[in-house]
Amino acid sequence: MMAASKVASKAASTPTVAILVSCEHGGNRIPSRYRELFLAHQALLRTHRGADFGALRVAREMAAALDAPLLASTVSRLLVDLNRSLHHPGLWSQASRAAAPEVRKEILHRYYLPYRAKLESLAGQKIAAGRRVIHVSCHSFTPQLNGVVRNADIGLLYDPSREPEAQLCRRWRQSLAGHAPGMRVRMNYPYAGTADGFTTYLRQRFGPAHYLGIELEINQRHVLAGGPPWRALRAAVIAALRESTAGFAAEFAAASAAESLQWPPSPPAPGHA
């Protein structure tokens, strides 16, 4: 059919996948304005509760290697957790919960809302331009929590009911087996991909055909050990992601030639910016 072949040639000539990298827990910085709230919590700030050790490094290298936009925060999650919904009790920490309501409102407007809006709008723009967004949110987890040793090196978190996410994570894990043999890669571990988080929120905004939200979780054991093995692990994770998204993009190009994309839900007004 005429229409189908037109779509096919368009799909073949334009990039179909857009990768976005983010890091919500990239540092343990507390802006001076709010330092007073943390006077009694200095030790806590330096623990895994303050930041995801190593996550920002992975995110930066990943974005550079894949030529993808990076959105990262170095303000501690103990001020406000960018990976929690506004209604979630974990949005505020034991330190920031004590702040006056107007102070917390200010924190939301300075740090939380702009961050969340920025990625949502970037994803929306890519989707409106006909791209399928692969959002990789980079995290790390403490090797041992409440006395339980976590038995994975890498976790890939996704929503099992969204087939494209499941498929991409299977590819990523498969590819990792080649790049980092012996690494224990577990799906939806140590957390469920459907638990409250930024990707969970974005899934409600964008359908499964347009948005894939994956959380990468790396065991901090490797970060803390450091050295060449840690460098090699980062390189393997990124190389495997590159491979799996490339295969995925090719498949998506073929599939999108056959289906009609449902974005935007209603046609934009002519001459929109």
Interface positions with Zn ion (CB under 5 A)? 25, 52, 139
Say how many C-beta atoms besides its own lie within 10 A of residue 188's C-beta: 19
Q: How far is CA 133 from the centre of its chain?
A: 11
Minimum gap (Å) between residue 71 Cβ and Zn ion: 14
Q: What is the Cα–Cα distance from 28 to 14, expressed in whole angstroms?
A: 40
b (16+ CB within 10 A) / e for 114-143? ebbeebeebbbebbeebbbbbbbbbbbbbb
Q: Alpha-carbon torsion 60, 63, 64, 65, what sign? A: positive
Q: What is the Cα–Cα distance from 182 to 198, expressed in whole angstroms?
A: 30
By beta-carbon proximity to Zn ion, the closer residue of 84 and 104 is 84
Minimum gap (Å) between residue 83 Cβ and Zn ion: 6
Answer yes or no: are the C-beta atoms of 28 and 46 closer than 8 Å: yes
By beta-carbon proximity to Zn ion, the closer residue of 146 and 260 is 146
By beta-carbon proximity to Zn ion, the closer residue of 26 and 124 is 26
Minimum gap (Å) between residue 259 Cβ and Zn ion: 35
Using Cβ positions, the residue closest to Zn ion within the complex turns out to be 139
The DSSP output letter for 25 is T
By beta-carbon proximity to Zn ion, the closer residue of 52 and 153 is 52
| Spatial CB neighbours of 49, under 8 Å, sequence gap ≥ 6 | 77, 78, 93
Minimum gap (Å) between residue 250 Cβ and Zn ion: 31
Return the residue matching tokens 């899934």: 203
Minimum gap (Å) between residue 49 Cβ and Zn ion: 10
Answer yes or no: are the C-beta atoms of 110 and 186 closer than 8 Å: no
By beta-carbon proximity to Zn ion, the closer residue of 5 and 74 is 74
Minimum gap (Å) between residue 41 Cβ and Zn ion: 18
By beta-carbon proximity to Zn ion, the closer residue of 16 and 220 is 220
